[in-house]
Amino acid sequence: MFILDGRPLSPDTPFTHDGIQYPANWLRLSTLEEKEAIGIQESPDPPTWDQRFYWGYDSEGNLIPKDHAQLVEQWSNQTRQTANSLLLPSDWMIVREADNGVPADPTWKTWRENVRLAAGSKVFEINATTTTDELAAYITGPDYPVWPPDPSQPQPIPPAPVE
């Protein structure tokens, strides 16, 4: 981060200093000596945090976690909503089967059950966490965002075995 007169400067943004207007690309093109000559100091960027799980940092540099119980409720509800939004486009097949006996495609019925099972498993894992750190690790990990593939979407072709 670049600081001039106690204020941060954004790269690719023009600025004015001592009556001189500098173009947007000046910070990228100038040397360290040129920056220092007009009083620009470089300092490390402030630490970032995942705002879904933390409020920020305390005065000692520790993350301030959000309330775990509220996050568990929020992520459980979000997971159920995601499952519902995945199932919604194929609900008509099940309604048609119930209304007039036209059987729903077994592939779709299996997929729908797999979505419900995946949602249940995700909610179970969310509820099994005991801290905000554990919850954040699960949600941002490799397992949470994966859902059963939609049967109407083309599936990736596995690579051919190497001999």
Identify the pLDDT of residue 163: 74
* Domain total of the chain: 2
Range of the domain at 8: 2-42
Same domain, 30 and 92: no
pLDDT, one tens digit per residue, over 85-104 is 999 999 999 999 999 999 99
Query: Which structure tokens are listed for 47?
Result: 């630490």
Same domain, 115 and 84: yes
User: Average pLDDT of 104-132?
Assistant: 97
- As a whole number of angstroms, the distance between CA 40 and CA 32 comes to 9
pTM over 0.85: no
Q: Is residue 36 part of a domain?
A: yes
Q: Is residue 52 part of a domain?
A: no
Same domain, 77 and 23: no
pLDDT, one tens digit per residue, over 12-42 is 999 999 999 999 999 999 999 999 999 999 9
